[in-house]
Structure 1
Amino acid sequence: MQNSFGTISRFCRLYLGRKQNFARAFSINIANRMSLVNQTVKNSLLHSTSLRENLKVLGVPPKMRSEPAFKKIDSPEFHSIFTDELQALIDIFKRYYYELRIAGGAVRDILMGIKPKDIDLATTATPDQMKEMFNKEKVRLINAKGEKHGTITPRIHNKENFEVTTLRIDVRTDGRHAEVQFTTDWQLDANRRDLTINSMFLGFDGTLYDYFYGYEDLMQRRVVFVGEADVRIKEDYLRILRYFRFFGRIAKEPSKHDVETLKAIRENAEGLARISGERIWAELQKIVVGNFGCELVQEIISCGLGSHCGLPVDANIDEFKRLCADLENFSKPHTPIFYLIALLHTTEEAMSLHQRLKLSAFERDLALFITQNRKKVGVEFCKLRDYQRLCLQPNARREFVEELLKYSNEVELYNELKAWKMPRFPLTGSILKEHGLTADKRMGVIMTRLRSIWIDSDFSITGDELLTNHLADVIESLKTPPGTPNKKRKSE
């Protein structure tokens, strides 16, 4: 019976915060203090029928390591993180008897032999305790917005910032956001994280703390959720895209997905509709430019996620695959939106994508420019001069024209255009005003026509020549209704 209670206690402790009405019971050691537990909760846990119902919500507990602190790390990547500022931070936490460990991506990078770009830290200290501690130590704090999530950012020696987050559990989730509660239990915090490879901690003595066999998954380049994928996805549907992002970062083969994980993703695809476009785009950008980006985007569409990400139902997979292959002819990096444009058929679909993902003005305009002009390549636009003219149009940008050539795999023309030094049009609105023109709607039209004459001359006509030999004719042409022959001037 003692073993049974021990198992139940472990189960309860692991799922603290995953079901709010169990929260009080979870904090008690059932094996030793069973009489203190609410009778309703005890019956729910001890009777198999109720337990099965709870498992539907909570999921089957993940496989847990009996000795989490099982390995010592002593690598160059680990030792490289110890700046004077980090050591000072470690010493502060030691003086106040709070635990501090490396968390998340930095642990993963160190284990993979990669020097971390930045370090996330986790602690048993609450935000209030950290603020009090840093205030006593006269350490400046920045970025107060993170405090509501349990994150405090001290700036050490006025040189280096560190994000330190209190251990926490999710007491309520709605598929988008979580209501959290602080804890001092490292295993409970590890259990709230999405993937096993992200649930490890690393002590500053080199001790690796791994509760759910994330180390083995990382060594085997296996990307799986902590516990049941279906349950973890329902807590935050953005985890669907996070799975694909980390798969691209970790996996060695593009198609070696966990079957049950993909099944859970397909079954929860509609949940992405509840996630904001900005959050979706932040993940997609990293996926498309990462390892296996081409294969992962196809898998995302195959799982029925495309329409929830702003892509058309009949996304142009063939064009997308063609673009991914052709981009091997060009040096990286490529802007992320560039890849998604290939999946679109029309400018209307480009606007739909913009409305869903809240693209930047640059991304939106590039998508519109390429969808409007890609069919003209090799038809209306054939020679370098055609693309030079396009660069000089009022509503065009040279960068867009270069991207159009790249999109169309016009390597030679692309290189020629990149090397071209674009001349400066010799006239301005101020110069035209000096010659008697007023700043009205006609001025833009006049400027465009004069610019066309200048381009046709191979950019050789000077500003004075345009004003002397062409300005009057352009103005006269605007007085004549379209389709009627020019009449002779009265002076003639």
Structure 2
Amino acid sequence: MKLPADVPWLNDAGALALCAALEGAGFQALFVGGCVRNAVLGVQASDIDIATDATPDQVQQVCKGAGFKTIPTGVDHGTLTVVIGGKPYEVTTFRNDVETDGRRAVVAFSTDVTEDARRRDFTMNALYARADGTLVDPLGGLPDALARRVVFIDDAAARIREDYLRILRFFRFSAWYADPAHGFDANALAAIADHLDGLAQLSAERVGAEMTKLLGAPDPAPAVAVMERVGVLPQVLTGAQARWLAPLIHAESMLDLSPDPMRRLAVLGGEDVADRLRLSRADARKLAVLRELAGTGEGAAELGYRHGRNVALDVIALRSAVFETPVHVDDAAAAVRGDVARFPVAARDLMPALHGPELGAKLKELEARWIASDFKLTRAQLLG
């Protein structure tokens, strides 16, 4: 099978030049991973990864001769970043795992693409392609990819024990790429249920990054629901519940909202979420604001006025999901109206008659009246 000729990375000048340089020196150069999987699925890919039988030293020599810059981003694991025309390309030597402990692996370089494929996680991720678009499928994973089935390579339990993050990756890839009509692979779920304790070995940073990617999928609700049923969700987010995620996805569609992991984390709930997932300060702050505002009585217009259109729409969607109420178009319009409204009274308008706490209290009173009027009261009416 050949990939369509219009796949963008098959026409990427830098990638083709890199493959030509490696092949010209007598080495293999195969596109691998996400770019190939996404091309098979008809999904756009952002990163271009290349696998080769050349060792890192040999890759460096080839690139030096071709005038390409190399950066040793993961040289101990066989990975170099090659920069061509200002664009980075990851080149990794074929590998096999010598030793694993559930978090990291000791690898040995290989010249066998089948060995390299067997150390990967899912069959759909073990696809390679030559520079002319010809697919290389060492493990026969193409049918799974075409059917959108997320299946572990060989023995699911063995793959999980090599890296327990693969439990979360299974659900992330299911959310992004699986066909819901197929359900979830039974062997994978059984192996996951048997290895829940391994999740405790993972760093908060790795778990947080994986959960954020999962919740950024167009509709992660089925995957998260199964995560809860097999016991994964309680392990990574104590107290979280999946029950309101599907209603939130529906509310998002009604409000034309793009996927947002923090909005979705807010509806899952849970204890110490920011710490458990090691969220950035900005994400932790956004999560806290959304969770707090979802339980307040501020209307859509006031939310838009005080917190901006985006936060207001997020809160409207959250409330719709949790309180099982329909989304009203009027609420979205009110949030936008509040976002552009500007309170017409300033402190100087009340001075010098009022000052200090009295001035602040009067401003709050007038602002509340103005908001209650749907921002219609004028400055003269408020001060009259």
- Give the TM bin, normalised by the shorter chain: 0.7 to 0.9
CA displacement 1:418-446 (0-9 Å, x = unmatched): 24413268769xx9xxx9xxxxxx98x78
User: 2:215, 2:260 within 8 Å by CA — same for their partners in 1?
Assistant: no
User: 1:195, 1:223 within 8 Å by CA — same for their partners in 2?
Assistant: yes
1:277 paired residue number: 204
Change in 2 beyond 3 A, CA 1:83/1:202: same
Structure 1 residue 147: deviation in Å?
A: 2.5
SS at match of 1:423: coil
Equivalent residue letter for 2:16: Q
2:322 is the alignment partner of 1:322 = no
Change in 2 beyond 3 A, CA 1:155/1:368: closer
- What aligned pairs does 1:18-417 form with structure 2 within 5 A after superposition? 72-73=1-2, 75-78=4-7, 81-142=10-71, 144-156=72-84, 158-253=85-180, 256-312=183-239, 315-344=240-269, 349-350=270-271, 352-376=272-296, 380-382=297-299, 384=301, 386-387=302-303, 391-392=305-306, 399-409=310-320, 410-411=327-328, 412-417=330-335
SS at match of 1:408: helix
Q: TM-score, normalised by structure 1?
A: 0.67
Q: Distance in 2 between matches of 1:257 and 1:383?
A: 39
2:342 is the alignment partner of 1:423 = yes
Structure 1 residue 226: deviation in Å?
A: 1.0
SS at match of 1:342: helix
Equivalent residue letter for 1:297: V
Change in 2 beyond 3 A, CA 1:193/1:80: closer
Q: Distance in 1 between matches of 2:345 and 2:75?
A: 55
Change in 2 beyond 3 A, CA 1:405/1:206: closer
User: 2:82, 2:90 within 8 Å by CA — same for their partners in 1?
Assistant: yes
Q: Distance in 1 between matches of 2:3 and 2:313?
A: 48
Change in 2 beyond 3 A, CA 1:316/1:278: same
Q: Which moved more, 1:237-246 or 1:250-259?
A: 250-259
Q: Distance in 2 between matches of 1:206 and 1:413?
A: 50
Change in 2 beyond 3 A, CA 1:318/1:123: closer
Q: Distance in 2 between matches of 1:246 and 1:261?
A: 13
Q: Distance in 2 between matches of 1:273 and 1:224?
A: 23
Q: Distance in 2 between matches of 1:461 and 1:76?
A: 64
Q: Size of the alignment, in residue pairs?
A: 367
Q: Distance in 2 between matches of 1:292 and 1:261?
A: 21
Bigger-Rg structure (1/2): 1
CA displacement 1:229-286 (0-9 Å, x = unmatched): 0010010011111111222333222562221111001111121121122222222223
Change in 2 beyond 3 A, CA 1:319/1:162: closer
SS at match of 2:10: coil
Give the fraction of aligned pairs with identical amino acids, expressed as a percent: 28
Structure 1 alignment gaps of length 5 or more:
1-71, 436-441, 470-492
Equivalent residue letter for 2:312: V
2:323 paired residue number: none
Q: Distance in 1 between matches of 2:177 and 2:276?
A: 29
Q: Distance in 1 between matches of 2:40 and 2:259?
A: 29
